[in-house]
Amino acid sequence: MRMGGMPGSARLRDCEVLQKMTSKQAEEKRLYGAISAAPAVTLLPWGLLRRKKITCHPAFTDKLSRFWAVKSNIQVSGELTTSRGPGTSFDFVLSLVQQLFGESAFKEVRDLLLLNASEDHSIKEETNKVEWAVDHIPRVLIPVANGSEEIEVVTIVDILRRAKAYVTIASVEKSLHILASQGTKIIADMSIGMAAESTYDLIILPGEVAGFERLNKSKVLKKLLKDQESAGRIYGAICFSPALMQRNEEKKAMGQTSVINMLKSKMVDSARIVIDGRVITSGGVATVTDFALAIVSKLFGHARARSVAEGLVFEYSRS
C-alpha cells in the first residue's frame, strides 16, 4: 500500500525494492493501492495504472490520462484501489477492509470507529462565544501516553501544523517513545515535565481508554490543565479525555457515550463538536477532522480552515 503526500510519494517512487515488490503484487493479481499524490507520482511511472480507472489528489489529476481518471473519493479497479487524500482516508481503508475481510468486517470496523454515528448531528454547537485569535503564532500542547488514540493524535497535530500553529507533542511517560492504542509508535517532542516550563495558548487531550487512564495519572498534566483554566486560556479534549478536564458544571461538553456519567458538564448530543467559551470537546475518531478544523477556524479564521480542508480533500463546514 502506497501512502501519498509530497515529497514522500517521490521518495517512494525512487525506491527500487518497493517498485519490485509492488510490481510483483500487481503481476500476481494481489491487492495494491495508493492514496493522495501516490497514484500519479509513484504508481504511474512504475507502469501500474495501465487500463485502470484511478483517482488521486486534485493537485495531481493532470498527470493522469483523462480517459482513465475519475473524481470519486474512492476508486476500485480490479486489484487496484486509489483515493484522493487525507480527508478520504477512512473511505480508502474501509474499502480495503471490505475487500480483504468481507462485508461483516467492514461494518464492524465502521461501527467501532463510530463513522456512521454522527451523520444526523450538526457539525458544531457554540455557546458563550469568545475570540480565540492571538497576536502571535499559536502555541499548542498535545499530551500523549501509551494507549492514546493514534488517529486522534496524528490528525490533530497534522491539521494544526498545516494551519501554521506551533505544536508540541509531550509524553507523560518516562520515555518519549509512545506505543499508541493500535500499536503505532509515536515519538514525542519532549517530556511533559519539560513542556510544563512553557505556556500554551491551547492544550488538547487525545482519547482512548488506556491513554486517558495514563494521562489521568500525570500530576504535572493536571496542574497544567488547572493553570490553563485559571488563566482563562483555551483547552479541550476528545473521545474519553473530556473526563480528565476540570469538571465545571456550567460548561457544555461532548465526549464518548461511556464517559458521560464521569462528567459534571452539561452534555450535548446534538453536535459533533461543542465549543463553550474557551473549551472545546468532541466525540472521537469519527469527528477528529472536524474537531481539528474547528480549532483552526477559531484560532485563524474560516478562510484558513477552508484552505487546510481543501488540501486534505475534506468538505469543510463553518457551521
Q: Which residues are catalytic?
A: 239
Residue 122: how many CB atoms within 10 A of its CB? Answer: 12
Rg (Cα) of the chain, in Å, rounded?
A: 21
**H helices, E strands: number in the chain:** 11, 15
Distances (CA, A) of 272 to 17, 80, 120, 247, 290: 43, 33, 10, 20, 8
Q: Measured between alpha carbons, how far is 33 from 35 in angstroms, rounded to an integer?
A: 7
Half-sphere exposure of 118 (CA within 13 A, CB side): 27
- Note whether 316 and 293 are within 8 A (CB): yes
Q: Is 219 left (phi over 0), alpha (psi -120 to 50) or beta?
A: alpha
Measured in whole angstroms, the distance separating CA 98 from the mean position of its chain's CA atoms is 22
